Amino acid sequence: MKLIAIYLIGVIFGVGISISGMANPAKVINFFDIAGIWDPSLIFVMGGALVTTFIGYKLVFGRAAPVFEDSFNVPTSRTIDARLIGGSAIFGIGWGISGFCPGGALPALGTGRWEVFAFTAALVVGIFLAKFAQSLAAPRAQAQT
């Protein structure tokens, strides 16, 4: 039951990303190109997703626990450090260069377009390079967390 529900949630997310334009690098880059051929559509994606999730979470967190789990499993860290800001800045550089973000690219794999697979393969390599770099610094990082 749980896995069927999660599959359908993935489908809803994939349909949402597909019709929103987040999976289309031309649209994403044009959103960020205010000085050029600006396409403001993505404001509506972010706004629609944020307002819906904000209201949805308010309702969901009124419950004691999720339907299929004993407790909610949400990130609790409140530390704002160089790693968070630097990592987010690096992500912004890559997003601006390629036009794909992970949430846009994963559903777009379903179109079968080779460009999406090229980006996603590089994305996975990047994630593991970073995890490897983090593991080298692991003793210090673990002491911090």
Q: Does 141 bind another protein (CB under 8 A)?
A: no
How many other CB atoms sit within 10 Å of the CB of residue 142?
8
CA distances 137 to 11, 39, 88, 140, Å, are 38, 42, 19, 6
In angstroms, what is the minimal distance from the CB of 140 to another protein? 14
Q: Does 86 bind another protein (CB under 8 A)?
A: yes
Kindly tell me the sign of the dihedral angle through the C-alpha atoms of 26, 97, 136, 145: negative
- Site for another protein, residues 112 to 131, rule: CB under 8 A: 113, 115-116, 118-131
In angstroms, what is the minimal distance from the CB of 56 to another protein? 3
- Site for another protein, residues 11 to 70, rule: CB under 8 A: 11-27, 29-30, 32-37, 39-54, 56-57, 59-61, 63, 65-69
In angstroms, what is the minimal distance from the CB of 15 to another protein? 5
Q: Does 144 bind another protein (CB under 8 A)?
A: no
In angstroms, what is the minimal distance from the CB of 78 to another protein? 6
How many other CB atoms sit within 10 Å of the CB of residue 16?
17
